[in-house]
Amino acid sequence: MKKIFTAALSLLMIFFLTACGDTASNSAQKNSAATSDTASKPAPPPKKTIIVYYSRTGDNYEVGNIAKGNTHIAADIIAENVDADMFEIKPVEPYPFDYRECTEVAKSEQDANARPAYVGKVENFDQYDTVYLCYPIWWSDLPMIVYTFLEQNNFNGKTVIPLCTSASEVFIGKEDIENHAKGSKVLEGLGIRGKDCQYEQDKVRNMIQTWLKKVNA
């Protein structure tokens, strides 16, 4: 009887030790799996910056026939100072070369609240958290094609840093961008005289560098 009891007890202990061992090693495995999961999980990719601009070549206000648009020059100066990709908003239907004719087309687009199409698209717009947006002022507003861009891309959570060129150094567009680039935060914009981009580039460079410091870019 005593023998049977001892044998049963031994079996029980073996079972108990094996079970405990399994549990311990399982939980060790689980822990190591949890640790290696955390370790191997890739860090989210760092967010990037993009400079998006619309600018027109041809016959323009106060500057004659220009090969590189005023806003394009300003956008390039931002690119000299900021690590960023670039995207040009190129109209599918080019605007007239002639300044007067262009103003007429622009006016009718504005009156119709048109959304002219642009060529291509920004690949993986989600990867950017900061967007420099550069545009000329047309009829005291953004060119309608810039609204096309703002509405066709998801700006939620992005910071927009706008720059405009025009006949003066006035900045226009903060509220318009806020209303169309839904969910974005729009920082203080810079207004640059268009003809200075052609003839006073040192001055423009200084203005842009001072502004970049101010917006903490």
- Report in angstroms how near the CB of residue 167 gets to ligand FMN at its nearest: 3
> How many residues in the shown chain lie near ligand FMN by CB under 6 A?
22
47, two tokens? 């967010």
Residues 31-60 that bind ligand FMN (CB under 6 A): 55-56, 60
DSSP state of 153: S
DSSP-derived pairing of the beta strands 190-193 and 185-186: unpaired
**Interface stretch with ligand FMN, choices 23-31, 38-46, 70-78, 120-128 (CB under 6 A):** 70-78
88, two tokens? 């040009």
Residue 71 interacting with ligand FMN (CB under 6 A): yes
Residues 100-129 that bind ligand FMN (CB under 6 A): 102-103, 106
Q: Which residue is nearest to ligand FMN (CB)?
A: 194
Cα–Cα distances in angstroms (integers) from residue 113 to residues 68, 88, 91, 108, 178, in the given order: 27, 21, 16, 8, 17
Please say whether the dihedral angle defined by the alpha carbons of residues 9, 14, 15 and 19, taken in this order, is positive or negative.
positive
125, two tokens? 């717009």
Residue 171 interacting with ligand FMN (CB under 6 A): no
Residue 97 interacting with ligand FMN (CB under 6 A): no
- Report in angstroms how near the CB of residue 102 gets to ligand FMN at its nearest: 5
